């Protein structure tokens, strides 16, 4: 890679809200924070987990009932 046209590519720590973290390389450094990763995503784990933000799930269930 030519140094004049490409951004710096350094080691980066990626941290998930579930507590999982790993080291990769990126132009965004020193840290990237994510809400979901392969350790907690329902597609990879096979389990559905609702992440409730400000009571939205309860508000929906109260409005529409426990049909689902």
- Whether residue 16 is contained in a domain is answered as yes
Is 23 in a helix, a strand, or coil? strand
Parallel/antiparallel/unpaired status of strands 10-16 and 21-26: antiparallel
Q: What is the pLDDT of residues 8-43, one digit of tens each?
A: 788 899 888 888 888 888 887 788 888 888 777 666
pLDDT of 53 reads 63
This model's pTM is above 0.85: no
Question: The domain that contains 47 carries what CATH number?
Answer: 4.10.80.400
Smallest Cα–Cα separation from 27: which of 50, 51, 5, 58? 5
**DSSP code of 18?**
T
Domains contained in the chain, number: 1
Confidence of residue 66 (pLDDT cuts 50, 70, 90): low
Confidence of residue 6 (pLDDT cuts 50, 70, 90): confident
**DSSP code of 27?**
S
Parallel/antiparallel/unpaired status of strands 21-26 and 31-34: unpaired
- Whether residue 2 is contained in a domain is answered as no
* Range of the structural domain that residue 23 is part of: 10-64
């Amino acid at each position: 890679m030519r140094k004049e046209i490409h951004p710096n590519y350094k080691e980066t720590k990626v941290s998930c809200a579930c507590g999982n973290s790993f080291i990769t390389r990126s132009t965004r450094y020193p840290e990237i924070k994510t809400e979901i990763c392969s350790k907690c995503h329902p597609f990879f784990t096979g389990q559905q987990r609702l992440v409730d933000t400000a009571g939205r799930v309860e508000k929906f269930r109260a409005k529409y009932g426990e049909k689902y």
